[in-house]
Amino acid sequence: MQSRSHSFKENAREAIADPNIQAAMAKMKVGFTGKRLAAAARLPEFEALRDAARDIKNHSLANLDFYLERYEAKVLETGGQVHWAPTAADARKAILDICERAGAKTVTKGKSMISEEIALNDHLEEAGMTVVETDLGEYIIQLRKEPPSHIIAPAVHVSKEQVEADFRAQHQHLPAERSLSEPTDLVNEARQILRQRYLDADVGITGANFLIAETGTSIIVTNEGNGDLTQSLPKIHIVIASIEKVVPNLEDASTILRVLARSATGQEFSAYTTLSTGPRRAEDPDGPEEYHVILLDNGRSSMLGSEFQDMLRCIRCGACMNHCPVYHAVGGHSYGWVYPGPMGAVLTPNLIGVEEAGHLPNASTFCGRCESVCPVRIPLPKMMRHWREREFERHLTPKSVRHGLGVWAFMARRPALYHRLTGLGIRALAALGRRRGRFTSLPLAGGWTKYRDLPAPQGKTFQQLWAEKQKNGRAAK
């Protein structure tokens, strides 16, 4: 996917001006948060489970080489194949090779963010294959030729009226007079259209929420059942997973699963948690004949051991963006690449470079709501600050900011000078603004006064008044 992260500000401005996006965001910002809160309140152990989930991921990451090797050995033992992919291009090539060898014409896909990360659909389509996204949200945005705007609700920015228009435009063989005004109608139509696609598919591709080293198992978590039809009906099942998805055993996966759905949608457990191990067995009446796992690195190994290692704990629940007021203001597309919201603000610069994605870790008030809901307690604001530090070190911070900051810091480090100059400056400012109490515009404060008034200072600084009070004797008290 071509990045538009560098134009974050412009993207945001467009999103702010788009009434559809604003209406969708207004809805999502209350929906997900309320449901998560209720789910967490219902499970007394929820906070302790978050700690446990964090610890499991930390342990897995600290021993990632060991668990990856054991995972691979198990996959091979159960008749599956493992393809190691250092880069996105390697992953695309491995998948294309499998599809071409199978003579695939139609490929169905379950929702996979890794697939977005490696821009898989374009690659397969260029090779002449028909690629069908089967998750309803992914199907909708595939029709609209858009990227997902949320990692678990890819079409959260689209209104039902827009979906209706898309379906009418795309499904022209269906009667024009049919009713499509309700979500139920739309879901039924998608079900009907996609049903044939599952049956036609030669290859089914899914992502993975977890890989289990104990058993060589991949796990997908869905609500629609599309992932299951995608991976059960075709002859070949390909799993795309990044290397940090591996955890030691089923018990570890269970602990993380207990916080995943609750954090994501507020469900106790998603409708379908599916564990897949190898291809169908000789005696199985159905299931795929081949099982391939693509293990993608694409920058993760270099996050290990860095100040961004904690980000690799991420289980892609989306709680951070569900709770992010900046995401609510600008929607997911503004972030310009695959991963939006706070997790994207940390991950994206790691994957495509901070030169391209530098706005993302800066566009945060550090309000900390993301960290407060993260099921694996990733210190997201702290890591966004790490990016700002790297930008500052590498002189990527805008010149005006650097300059202003330099002058301010020079003063702040010299209290006597600071108090003298601020005392003078504030007195002048107060004289200008005191009568009205505020400024509607002020030179050099345009960023502030474009949208809001600036309260005028009261007059003297506290330090001046305090000094006067001390001088006027302790009699005051």
Partner 1 sequence: MTTAREQILGAVKQSLKKNNPSGDRPDELAQRLSDPKANLIPERSRLPHPAQVDLMESMLIELSATVKRISSLDEVPDEVVTYLKTRNLPQEVRLAPSKELQALAWDDQSLLKVSCGPAREPDQVSVTGAFAAVAETGTLMLHSGPEGPTTLNFLPENHIVVLRSSQVVGAYEEGWARLRKAFGNGTMPRTLNMISGPSRTGDIEQKIELGAHGPRRLHVIIVEDGHAETGDSAG
Partner 2 sequence: MSKPEPRVGLFVTCLVDLFRPSVGFAAVKLLEAAGCRVEVPELQTCCGQPAYNSGDKADTRAIALQVIEAFRDFDYVVAPSGSCAAMIKKHYPELFEKEPEQLAKAEELSARTFELISFLTDVMQLSDVEAAFPQTVTYHDSCSGLRELGVRDQPRKLLSSVNALSLVELSDADICCGFGGTFCVKYPDISNIMVTSKTGSIESTGAQTLLAGDLGCLMNMAGKLQRSGSDIQVRHVAEVLADMTDTPAIGAAEGDTRNGGN
- Region 70-99 residues binding partner 2, contact defined as CB under 8 A: none
Tokens of residue 360, six digits:
């993302």
Helices marked H in 413-458: 415-433, 446-449
Residue type, 232: S
From the list partner 1, partner 2, none, which binds 170 (C-beta under 5 to 8 Å, kind-based)?
Answer: none
Query: Could you give the CA distance from residue 376 to residue 368 in angstroms, rounded to a whole number?
Result: 14
Contact call for residues 313 and 58 (beta carbons, < 8 A): yes
Only segment of 83-91, 335-343, 365-373, 461-469 that touches partner 1 (CB under 8 A): 83-91
Q: How far is the CB of 446 from partner 2 (least distance, A)?
A: 8
Length of the chain: 477
From the list partner 2, partner 1, none, which binds 184 (C-beta under 5 to 8 Å, kind-based)?
Answer: partner 1
Residue 272 interacts with partner 1 (CB under 8 A): yes or no: yes
How many CB atoms are closer than 10 A to CB 13?
13
CA atoms within 13 A on the CB side of 297: 14
Only segment of 64-72, 119-127, 379-387, 421-429 that touches partner 1 (CB under 8 A): 64-72
Residue 442 interacts with partner 2 (CB under 8 A): yes or no: no
How many chain residues interact with partner 1 (CB under 8 A)?
108
| Binding positions for partner 2, 242-271, rule CB under 8 A | none
Q: Which is nearer to partner 1, 79 or 423 (CB)?
A: 79
Contact call for residues 257 and 221 (beta carbons, < 8 A): yes
Residue 440 interacts with partner 2 (CB under 8 A): yes or no: yes
Closest by Cα among 428, 432, 422 to 461? 422
Only segment of 63-71, 86-94, 121-129, 403-411 that touches partner 2 (CB under 8 A): 403-411
Residue 148 interacts with partner 1 (CB under 8 A): yes or no: no
Closest by Cα among 200, 209, 320 to 274? 209
Residue 453 interacts with partner 2 (CB under 8 A): yes or no: yes
Q: Which is nearer to partner 2, 86 or 406 (CB)?
A: 406
Place of tokens 């007394």: 44
Tokens of residue 198, six digits:
């599952």
Residue 460 interacts with partner 2 (CB under 8 A): yes or no: yes
Contact call for residues 104 and 129 (beta carbons, < 8 A): yes
Contact call for residues 23 and 157 (beta carbons, < 8 A): no
Q: How far is the CB of 203 from partner 1 (least distance, A)?
A: 17
Q: Which is nearer to partner 2, 290 or 391 (CB)?
A: 391
What would the x/- binding string for partner 1 be over residues 106 to 135, using CB under 8 A? Answer: ----------------------------xx
- CA distances 75 to 80, 294, 295, 407, 425, Å, are 5, 12, 12, 59, 70
**Residue 469 φ/ψ, nearest 5 degrees:** -65, -40
Residue type, 462: F
Residues that bind partner 2 in the complex, under the rule CB under 8 A = 9, 12-13, 16, 325-326, 329-330, 362-369, 371-372, 382, 385, 387-393, 397, 401, 405, 408-409, 411-413, 415-416, 418-419, 422, 426, 434-438, 440, 445, 447-463, 465-467
